[in-house]
Amino acid sequence: MKTFLRLCVVVGILLVGLTLTAAYKLTARRKPDPLDTPDRHSLPFKSVYFRSRDGLRLHGWWIPTTEPRGTIIQCHGQNGSMDADIPTAAMLHEGGFNVLMFNFRGHGTSTGKNVTFGWQERDDVLGAVDFLAERGYAPVGILGLSMGAVAALHAANHTDQIACMVLDGLMASLPKTLSAWLQRKGLPPFMATPFIYAALWLGGQRTHSPLLHLRTQRWAAIDIPTLFIHGADDELIELADIEPMVEQIRGALWVVGGCRHREAFERCPDDYAQRVIDWFLQFLV
């Protein structure tokens, strides 16, 4: 009996340790992508710095064009930095738009120690909107990628300076998405789901953010033209979770066959460019 109790204590300690480690890694500052700059892609640019709405110093690249059709903020995903998304910024620039891309808090060359999957990053997007509005570039369009899509949708509920959006790989539910990721790694659902719930609760305590309750449909009751892009084979996000949001927003849905999470641009660059540019031309110009 004593041996069994000792074993239970050891297992309990291990589980608590694993959960605490997961909570920290989920919300800790990210390792940036390999260094890149727009001039390596033949793009004119200027490094800019601005403050998020809650005061963090963010770094971005301003990529202007002559006789712009409008201005677009590009919001990268988590687990890297803005560097890897220069090709989509180049696509927007070639379409005739000014582009502001920047590193979210806890990423790349921006300040901040925490990542909250779009909750606090809302203030980063709003800071970018404020930065452009102060310089006469308003309203703007937004291309949000994965976590950037979550942050953009969240931010759109707190400003009237966003005219339209393209959201590629929008997450519907953070607990469900992370549980799906663990299940793909081989953990059975009855273990993955409670583990993620516990890790997100602890991560929420660490970052003072309601990560356990981060579900994006609550932010979809807005009247902003929005194009949703979803990979038909997305391993993390189910189409059925995105469709109700499409119905709430005055927008459209492009389901891209043969694509997993955020693979649409890589696999269908020409079609992607045409649809995204046409969307911004229709609602931003």
Helices of type H across the chain? 2-27, 86-94, 121-133, 147-156, 174-184, 189-207, 239-248, 264-267, 269-283
What is residue 229's predicted lDDT score, i.e. its pLDDT?
A: 98
What are the residues facing 60 on neighbouring strands? Answer: 48, 102
pLDDT for 79 equals: 87
What is the b/e burial string over 40-59, where b = at least 16 CB atoms within 10 angstroms of the residue's CB? eeebebeebebebbeebebb
- Looking at residues 173-189, what average pLDDT do you find? 91
25 vs 14, higher pLDDT: 25
Query: What number of other Cβ atoms are within 10 A of residue 259's Cβ?
Result: 21
pTM: 0.94
Instruction: Give all domains of the chain, ordered by start, each with its CATH number.
Output: 36-173+214-283 (3.40.50.1820)
Split at pLDDT 50, 70, 90, the class of 61 is very high
**Does residue 65 have a pLDDT over 70?**
yes
Q: What is the pLDDT of residue 13?
A: 61
- Nearest 10 degrees: CA dihedral of 250, 62, 117, 205? -130
Residue type at 228 in one-letter notation = F
